[in-house]
Amino acid sequence: MNITHFLARAASVFPDNPAVSQGESVWADYARLMRRVAAMAAAFREQLGLVPGDCVALAMTNCPQYLEVRYAAWYAGLAAVPMNAKLHAREFAYMLTDSGARVCFVTPDLTETVAPLIDELADLERVIEVGSAEYQTLQSAEPSLEMYPSAPDDVAWLFYTSGTTGQPKGVMISHRNLMCATQSYFTDVDQISTHDCIVHAAPMSHGSGIYDMPHALKAANQVIPESGHFDPAEVFSLCSRWAGVTMFLAPTTVQRLVSHAREHAPDLTGLKTVVYGGGPMYVVDIREALRVLGPRFVQIYGQGEAPMTITALSRECINDTRHPRYLERLASVGVAQSSVEVIVADDNDQPLAANQIGEILVRGDVVAQGYWRNAQATAQTWRNGWLHTGDVGSFDDDGFLTLRDRSKDLIISGGSNIYPREVEEVLLHHPAVAEVSVVGRTHAEWGEEVVAFVVMQPANQVSENELDAFCVQRIARFKRPRQYRFVDSLPKNNYGKVLKTQLRRLLREQATP
């Protein structure tokens, strides 16, 4: 079934419900949004000459038109290629070339970056700016096209991985995958009423855009900040305007939200749920978030290859402070979501017992079918019927999964495994430490040694010796960092993930004579 059925259903049953709002004003109700989507879909096929299976790229900051372009692509049987708006021109060029996108929609702030690429990319025929005369022509077409009867495994969303370990790969997310992820939201994450809304403060090219779909299915409001991005003051202002607000945020963004709330004590009446994921949330940080913002949090763990839908740590578990293993559960990413099987496996893909550490493997209808035009990478990642996540973790006796690290981040020193996250959790309990990232550095005798990059809290000072003593009191001596590097900030990608590859490269370069 074509995923645009969600939108058509909402327009039929709740035509007058606000569908998309910009800031504090309604931009379109569901009836109007559905008409705009159908008109644009017809223009895609009749005016632009696109055919089912073609790719339409989006290089757009968050805006109301984001939704109508993406749904129009699906309505017409096309694959959408959302790209993060903060990418470099060469990164856009790579994704446009790899996907073979014939048309790319841009917001005005990105026209100068993307438009020149049309002269060098063979497949790219048009770069269309939102709000331009050409865009308005597409929007004024007659809605004469029937919704394309997409097959379950037709590619709907071509999602490009962040490329922290090499060139980004296009994950082929199907209509079936999106349907399954949407249904899992209601079972495993949260409930939505027709009076609720989602504030898209995070990029709609990624997780926030996935959570558009359960809200569309329930005919809830999609609120786009006027700024088009995350701004804590603006977010809290929207929470005072709209009711039943949900947001998807990365842990680093949650910290910014908490910091603002701690300083300004905003009205939290409209804030219903903050779903966090996309990187490690340390126990000290989520406890502070709960203290400041209250019992509004749900955690999810997923990947582009299994969008938003591997495990979930429910609101109930996060707030069950009386449980004897509360802190251990808070450090976990929860239990397998209802639509997937998840195991921790050995090198032969055999399940390991509880409390044993191995690679996390996933299978189910939410798991994507492979990488776009990359059979070798697909065969490497999808093996023996399982998606190999590359993440290392362990289950406890109750089925709660704790992530240790990415397999590539594991440090082996003197034959012993050291998981950077464990060391990071310890250091973050020191009151002078704001952020920390732990990586391995080549060592002639031990193989690797532990190095910690530390960002200090403002106006705080601490010595290496103090941090070393702090670690020795809390973890085995062989796990403690052999060096502490004090830095002003940690390198991060566009989604807030720390780029440990850059930290390791820095150490290698400094070791080279």
Contact 126, 103 (CB under 8 A): yes
With 0-12 CB in 10 A as exposed, 13-18 as middle and 19+ as buried, what is 60?
buried
Tens digit of each residue's pLDDT (9 = 90 or more) over 222-262: 999 999 999 999 999 999 999 999 999 988 889 899 999 99
Domain-by-domain residue ranges, the chain? 5-395, 410-511
pLDDT of residue 164: 46
Q: How far apart are CA 361 and CA 341, in angstroms?
A: 8
The residue among 309, 176, 305 whose CA lies nearest residue 248 is: 309
pLDDT for res 342: 98
pLDDT, tens digit (0-9, with 9 covering 90-100), for 404-420: 877 678 787 866 678 78
**Three-state secondary structure call for residue 221:** strand
Q: Is-same-fold flag (5-395; 410-511)?
A: no
Q: How far is CA 429 from CA 83, 283, 328, 436, 466, in A?
A: 36, 9, 15, 11, 13
Superfamily of domain 410-511: ANL, C-terminal domain (3.30.300.30)
Question: What distance in Å separates the CA atoms of residue 58 and residue 33, rounded to the nearest whole number?
Answer: 18
What are the beta bridge partners of residue 273?
246
**pLDDT tens by residue, 147-187:** 999 999 999 999 998 654 457 899 999 999 999 999 999 99
Weakest-pLDDT range from 86-100, 247-261, 319-333, 400-414: 400-414
CA–centroid distance for 294 within its chain: 23
Look at residue 412 in the predicted model and tell me its pLDDT. 76
Burial degree of 396 (CB within 10 A; 0-12, 13-18, 19+):
middle
pLDDT in tens, 362-372: 999 999 999 99
Is the domain defined by 5-395 classed in CATH 3.60.70.12? no
Q: Helix 251-264 to helix 283-293 angle, to the nearest 10 degrees?
A: 40
Q: Is the pLDDT of residue 444 over 80?
A: no
Residues 6+ apart with CB under 8 A from 234: 201, 225, 226, 227
- ∠ CA 238-244-245, nearest 5°, is 45
Nearest to 424 by CA among 478, 475, 473, 491: 475
